Amino acid sequence: MQRTLRNRVLGAATVLAVATTLASSALIANAQTTDGGTTGDGGADEVGAQALPTTYQWESTGPLIGPKPDATHDVVSAKDPTVVRYNDEWLVYNTVANTPEGHWSLAFTHFSDWSQAANAPVTYLDTNPNIGSRYAAAPQLFHFAPDDEWYLVYQTGPPSYSTSKNPADPMSWSAPKNFIDETPPIVEENSGGWLDFWNICDDSMCYLFAADDDGRVYRSETTIGEFPNGFRNTQIVLQDTRDLLFEGGAVYKVDNTDQYLLIWEAMGSNGRYYRSYLADGLTGQWQLQAGDQSAPFAGIANVTFPDGKWTADISHGELIRQGNDQTMQIDTGNLQFLYQGRDPSTDGMEYSQLPYRLGLLTLKSGASC
């Protein structure tokens, strides 16, 4: 979710600069490798793996989840979703912003089928006394199997997390703790701040990825045994222009392989879109896979809207995972992407007031190597 990093910490939004026209882009990917563990299957259901396509064609629903104001929550948007399947329901946590203050917080909804999403109940996490009215945004939900604990990762300024035994109960989340209390020197030396945190683990290590809204992807690491403590060795693993590596990133294990997929939001001349990279292992070198605005991982150039085009942005979202654990494994045979979009006529509004809604992409076709 785009804001200046200072204002992310303060919970106030800034106006998004108009995206510039992108030239064809070569990867400036000085991926740095560190010592890590071997990758593993992570406990997800075994399925037959198939190669990721090299080009993608998606179909989008209309808006499925939107803001639901109530007497104490004058919210104007639903954005930055995280989603898992749990006890035959979809659990969705997302960011909301209110008006006129532009205060950022979290919300929860759940439903059995996507057709029920629009009418599903919403709980605002500021009603959980452990979380309260603090600034909170950009959630990620997963089950940490080694400890049989659920984690809700989000930003409160620093990378934070709450824990629960029941992710379907928004009132059960603990008060936030920080993965890392002090901003690492390498972040301070560059943009000065980081955001949109994403955790993923292999058999022996956990990695915390982050953006800086200025063309860098950071990665910190700890061991499975130390998690959620001990994050260290923060380094830049990808670097490009601000527009090409902006924010809203995520990393996934390609089903039953040692290959990983990194997707990162970019700013284009005709809207937000996602670029993709592949690596052999979480400390491997990231190689650009689908990066052109005209042929992205997901963007307006390769998305159709059977019910009518409602957004020019394919923005901050999350792939539907094969399971719900810390390995973040995806099923390449059934790719879906829950994302935020908005009416293009709202361009120019103050960022926190942009009326984002959540829609679902389904991969329809793609060309493989």
Residue 352 three-state SS = helix
Question: What tokens appear for 72 in the block?
Answer: 């104490």
pTM greater than the 0.85 cutoff: yes
Tell me how far apart the alpha carbons of residues 300 and 281 are, in angstroms, rounded to a whole number: 30
Nearest in space to 155 (alpha carbons), one of 233, 209, 100, 76:
209
More confident residue, 18 or 163: 163
Tell me how far apart the alpha carbons of residues 261 and 257 are, in angstroms, rounded to a whole number: 11
Per-residue model confidence as pLDDT tens digits over 20-77: 333 333 333 333 333 333 223 333 333 345 789 999 999 999 999 999 999 999 999 9
Per-residue model confidence as pLDDT tens digits over 257-281: 999 999 999 999 999 999 999 999 9
What structural domains does the chain harbor? 5-13+50-367 (2.115.10.20)
Tell me how far apart the alpha carbons of residues 136 and 125 are, in angstroms, rounded to a whole number: 9
- Look at residue 80 in the predicted model and tell me its pLDDT: 99
Question: What tokens appear for 56 in the block?
Answer: 């993608």
